Amino acid sequence: MNKQQIVILGAGYGGLMTALHLQKKLKHHHTDITLVNKHDYHYQTTWLHETAAGTIHHDQTRIPLDEVIDKRRVHLVIDTVKAIQPDEKKVKLANSELTYDILVIALGFETATFGITGLKENAFMISTLNKARLLRQHLSYNFAQYHNEKKKNPARLNIVVGGGGFTGVEFLGELANRIPELCAEYDIDKAKVRVINIEGSPTVLPGFDPDLVEYAMNSLEARGVEFITGALLKECNPDNIVYKKNGMLTQIPTMTTIWAAGVKANPIVEVSGFQTNRGKVEVMEDLRAPGYEDVFVLGDCASIKDPETGQVVAPTAQMAVRQAKVAARNIIKRLKGEEKLEAFVPKTLGTVASLGNDDAIAVILKNWKIFGWKATFMKKMIDNRYLIRLGGWNLLFQKGKFNFFY
């Protein structure tokens, strides 16, 4: 008997949720499900800014795949995807090769550095668990080093965050709460520490509701964050950055630049022969790649337009999780031989940005604005709800966020 081979690439929000839906629904089907991932754990990309700032431990942001995957139903391959050959229905991994009948590409993002001088070499990123915990250690290291040098070096205490989008702002919120702890830990006067955000637009969170943006900037400024808006990062060196504002170049001494201003799809997608736009597959409404009826593309690797506005929708965790549900249902339809697949509707339920563990802003259903503890509560509930979906109440109790009333 020839079992259908379903191969899922990536155990991020999109890939892992697809695997979990299929493992639940395909109990009596003659299929093999294979999930390929670089690490033996899933991590919550949306929590990495907390790990990076050192406000939560990285083990709270990651979940061993073993704990959520039923190994009797899903075959787990820990390996790196090297190439996708959709015409041969093959995937090359670093250590083996897979053949598929149905493929799900959910390989996530990489940081885009837009060719800014020195950025790739010298800036820190919040894009992976390994990078996030490195940044946490780098921050502590510089604070620890400060009093060991005869000539005190302000570059050790200046922290520059490039980009005031969601990742940048959420990281600033955590950092603002972490700095007083670091100062106490290493006997450093808080007034000597500068946290500087550089953003190209006139405000942070461009496109977000202006009242809430003002709320966010006030909340962060009150905790010592400086905003330099309408400015572009031009250079990132090991001990300084240069930005341009109003045609003028300014240098800031810093050993810690965090680049939070750009992501791109995993570059493997672009070189695999799919029709792409800015490196992403412009998927059909049923989430399949044009021309390949058995390839689904999710999350950061997919480009999806909102049919109402015609705008490309932001590839959030929320989107990826909802795409996974539709993709799983469509895969089952394909297995049953159905021709008509379900369309994914890229509706956003709302957007919440945390500003540290005790403050947040949110827009719900496009016009209900909330901020402060209510938004914080909502953010933590969203995070917790995802954990329940992933691994039930057990996982929630292990990794959940219960510090609601700080």
Residues that bind a second copy (CB under 8 A): 130-131, 133-134, 136-138, 140-141, 144-145, 147-148, 186
**Least distance to a second copy from the beta carbon of 141, Å?**
4
**Least distance to a second copy from the beta carbon of 58, Å?**
8
Q: Which is nearer to a second copy, 31 or 140 (CB)?
A: 140
**Least distance to a second copy from the beta carbon of 184, Å?**
9
Active-site pick, 50, 170, 174, 199: 170
Give the integer Cα–Cα distance in Å for 201 and 183: 31
- In our burial notation (b when 16+ CB lie closer than 10 A, e otherwise), range 133-166 reads bebbebbeebbeebeeeeeeeebbbbbbbbbbbb
Q: Cα separations (Å) of 16 from 45, 331, 365? A: 13, 15, 26
**Least distance to a second copy from the beta carbon of 128, Å?**
8
Locate 216 and state its tokens.
């966010």
Specify the DSSP element, H or E, that contains 77. strand 74-78
How does DSSP assign 374-388, residue by residue?
HHHHHHHHHHHHHHH
360 in Cβ contact with 371 (< 8 Å): yes
Q: Which is nearer to a second copy, 186 or 373 (CB)?
A: 186
Q: Which is nearer to a second copy, 38 or 73 (CB)?
A: 38
Q: Which is nearer to a second copy, 4 or 140 (CB)?
A: 140
**Least distance to a second copy from the beta carbon of 152, Å?**
12
**Least distance to a second copy from the beta carbon of 147, Å?**
5
Specify the DSSP element, H or E, that contains 4. strand 4-9
Residue among 390, 386, 329 at smallest CA distance from 26 = 329
What's the number of CA atoms in the CB half-sphere (13 Å) around residue 317? 21
Locate 289 and state its tokens.
């790649």
What radius of gyration do the chain's Cα atoms show? 22
| DSSP state, residue 128 | S
Give the integer Cα–Cα distance in Å for 54 and 338: 49
170 tagged catalytic: yes
Locate 129 and state its tokens.
């668990």
Give the integer Cα–Cα distance in Å for 296 and 349: 23
Q: Which is nearer to a second copy, 127 or 197 (CB)?
A: 127
Q: Which is nearer to a second copy, 141 or 393 (CB)?
A: 141
Residue among 225, 104, 95, 219 at smallest CA distance from 160 = 225
**Least distance to a second copy from the beta carbon of 51, Å?**
11
Q: Which is nearer to a second copy, 18 or 127 (CB)?
A: 127
Residues labelled as active-site residues? 170
